[in-house]
């Protein structure tokens, strides 16, 4: 009798394992990462989709270290991967964008400068204060074709009011550079910029979904608002 019961338990366990494999562990599971993808924990502990073999956190750390040493050309190579992950890596996007602006210089709107603005805008739209103030500086002091003091005032107002500046690891913008931006903005542009900032809404950039692969939203990956320590 005991042997019969034991066989029944073993059989039941086998059926349960098979059912679980069919429901959640098989290749047909729509919520499972594709073979060419891997979910890792971001600096804030949330999951991020990357390709296998890529350590996004290590690449980010190496990139910001190179940036701090003034080697933006090498830093860009390290920061592109983490920046392209999207949500949760706005600091990598900011560091990448800032480096591209430094490489390009402020004389004209080169391809590097325009790419840098794109990354900064993605991070700034997501509410990252360091990106917002760099955009304010770019519109106040960047290439002549880009200068727009109302735009600078908008991003400066968002930076001033941003609660993200209270996070651990935040490093304020250089006080002298910040004062120079403020001094350039006349009262009319300041008022118009503040009005635009009051109507601003946060927008998160999501990287394109690979063909045939589930996106971040289809996986129910929670999108963080802020994350890593400041890149200094």
According to DSSP, residue 26 is labeled S
Full-model pTM: 0.70
Residues 229, 103, 112, 73, CA torsion sign: negative
What pLDDT was estimated at residue 29? 37
Top-level class of domain 37-210: mainly alpha
Tokens 């005991």 -> residue: 2
What pLDDT was estimated at residue 211? 53
Convert the pLDDT of each residue in 6-58 to its tens digit.
Answer: 434 334 444 433 433 333 333 333 343 333 334 444 444 444 444 444 589 89
DSSP output for 78-116:
HHHHHHHH-TT-HHHHHHHHHHHHHHH-SSS--HHHHHH
What is the phi-psi region of residue 38: left when phi exceeds 0, alpha when psi lies from -120 to 50, beta otherwise? beta
Rounded mean pLDDT, 61-88: 95
Convert the pLDDT of each residue in 82-97 to its tens digit.
Answer: 999 999 999 999 999 9
Convert the pLDDT of each residue in 90-127 to its tens digit.
Answer: 999 999 999 999 999 988 899 999 999 999 999 999 99
Calculate what percentage of the chain has a pLDDT beyond 70: 67
What pLDDT was estimated at residue 210? 63
The answer to whether residue 217 scores a pLDDT higher than 50 is no
């Amino acid at each position: 009798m005991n042997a019969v019961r034991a066989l029944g338990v073993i059989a039941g366990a086998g059926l349960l394992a098979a059912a679980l494999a069919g429901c959640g562990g098989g290749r047909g599971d729509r919520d499972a990462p594709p073979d060419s993808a891997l979910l890792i924990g971001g600096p804030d502990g949330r999951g991020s989709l990357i390709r296998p073999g890529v350590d996004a956190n290590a690449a980010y750390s190496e990139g910001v270290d190179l940036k701090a040493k003034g080697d933006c050309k090498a830093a860009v190579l390290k920061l592109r991967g983490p920046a392209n992950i999207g949500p949760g890596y706005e600091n990598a996007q900011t560091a990448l964008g800032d480096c591209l602006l430094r490489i390009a210089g402020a004389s004209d709107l080169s391809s590097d400068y325009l790419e840098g603005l794109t990354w900064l805008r993605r991070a700034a739209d997501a509410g990252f204060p360091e990106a917002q103030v760099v955009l304010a500086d770019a519109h106040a002091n960047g290439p002549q074709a880009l200068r727009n003091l109302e735009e600078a005032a908008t991003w400066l107002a968002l930076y001033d009011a941003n609660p993200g500046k209270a996070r651990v690891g935040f490093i304020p913008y250089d006080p002298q550079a910040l004062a120079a931006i403020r001094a350039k903005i006349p009262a009319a542009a300041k008022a118009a910029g503040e009005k635009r900032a009051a109507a601003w809404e946060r927008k998160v950039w999501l990287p394109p979904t690979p063909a045939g692969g589930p996106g971040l939203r289809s996986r129910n990956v929670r999108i963080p608002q802020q994350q890593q320590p400041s890149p200094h």
